Amino acid sequence: MKNNLFFFYTLINKIFFNTPLFTIVYPSAYPSIFSYKNLLSNFIFFTKKKKLKASINHFYKICFKVFIDLLKILYSPLILIIYFSKYRFIQLDHSQIGTLCLHINAMSKYHYLKNHKPIICLPSSVDKFFIIGVFKNLKIIDNTFVNILLLPLIHCDLISCPPYITDYFTNSKLEKIGNNFITQILKDYEKKINKNLFELNEEYEDRMHKYFFENFKNIDLEKIIILHAREHNYFATSYIRCADIKNYIPSINYILEKGYSVIRLTNNKTQNLKIKGKYLELNTDISKNRHLQYYLISKCKGFLGCSSGANAIGNIFDVPNLSINLFYLSTYSIKHNDVYIFKKIKNSKGVYMNYKDLFSERFFETFGLSIHNLEKAKIKVIENTSDEILEATKEFIYINQDHSIKKFSNLQKNFKDSIPKTSDYSFSEARISNYFIEKHSKLF
């Protein structure tokens, strides 16, 4: 009986909920909207390449979109009623924890800024990150069949927040679709409303508190620093968003020496470190630990992350953030007490590229979106060294422990002023590590 139910829900999820509301357009491999033009273009591309599975997948997506759009016509009276109401839906991508948390956070705040109340739909059958029931004030419609009935409303941009509001999608000319930036949304909400949307559910908090103290007695809950670094053996990713965890060891030891406990978020493929003291590796592939991570991050004194999904959880709880090995068009370091450092980029001649030029030429928003483009141009991405990570960590701990935030140096101020308003970084109040910007002053 259980096997039959599992098969039934798996089938339901594949048919209705596993189709992302965006698409990667080939052969250039840039992220874009879920449109007939993009889907048809991909279908033709994969058919010509004789990649049967991919072409069938895109044919299904076209059929799915036709089905939903026909239902929108039937739902049009209801769509009109909701349009004149105070309620709006959210187009969640639940495939990864980062996009799920990012969308719930930014899309909810986007609706509140527009004087609307968000309706969050997430079937319990696809909630593999256990976010349902975590937050006290977050009302989620989790019934699978109700979610199926609501699909035409969720997919209607007129009464729902589409992904291009919070994600960076481009057209075939690599021009940004939409005028919104995620950091701008989060900062505007902080300035204009600043209401805590993500207070923990008391029952969830009590359960996690008990589980933590029963299993991790050597960790000081009052002084936790969370660390997450995406490693090279992580599935379905390119090296540009990964890092060598060994370069983080001096920083981990420094944090421990300062009296903190370090909890590193890991998975089944993670390289384990043999570090003594109040150091814990929490495998989030284990269901209970995946559930626990929200509780721990909400309690931590700082989050050391990279261009990966776990960093988005820290943003939900407004945790101080140090982003390391950044190679992305936005950063989770957005507050005045946050710090970040970029990966370095070498051109085909082996020369490091200047960051001012990279931003003025929209490198991260265009060329840098595609590993295919980088490899074709023989551009290499160089991760941060152990000294760069350590010094950034020292600066981050100093700022957040002693609450002593120095003014920007002229070098840093000039760089921040040079970032164009077409970049998400222009809305961030965070600073680049002083050590990093001085070490590579010629690149700024």
Q: How far apart are CA 320 and CA 327, in angstroms?
A: 20
Please list the residues that pair with 23 across neighbouring strands.
Answer: 32
- Flag whether pLDDT at 160 surpasses 90: yes
Q: How far apart are CA 153 and CA 155, in angstroms?
A: 5
Percent of the chain past pLDDT 90, that is, above it, reads: 78
The pTM (predicted TM-score) of the whole model is 0.92
pLDDT of 304: 97
Task: Dump pLDDT digits (tens) for 70-101.
Answer: 999 999 999 999 999 999 999 999 988 989 99
- Give the pair of three-digit tokens for residue 23: 């698409």
Task: Dump pLDDT digits (tens) for 280-314.
Answer: 999 999 999 999 999 999 999 999 999 888 899 99
User: Which residues have a Cβ under 8 Å from the Cβ of 141 and sit 6 or more positions away?
Assistant: 119, 120, 121, 122, 147, 150
CB 93 within 8 A of CB 63: no
- Flag whether pLDDT at 404 surpasses 80: no
The domain over range 223-443 is classified in CATH as 3.40.50: yes
- Flag whether pLDDT at 253 surpasses 90: yes
Range from 19-23, 45-49, 354-358 carrying the lowest mean pLDDT: 19-23
CB 433 within 8 A of CB 388: yes
Domains in the chain: boundaries:
15-76, 85-192, 223-443
DSSP characters for 135-202?
BSS--EE--HHHHHHHHHHHT-TTSEE-GGGTS--B-TT-PBSSS--HHHHHHHHHHHT-----PBPH
- Flag whether pLDDT at 392 surpasses 90: yes
**Helix, coil or strand: residue 433:** coil
Range from 16-20, 318-322, 337-341, 381-385 carrying the lowest mean pLDDT: 16-20
Angle of helix 144-154 versus helix 52-74 axis, rounded to 10: 80
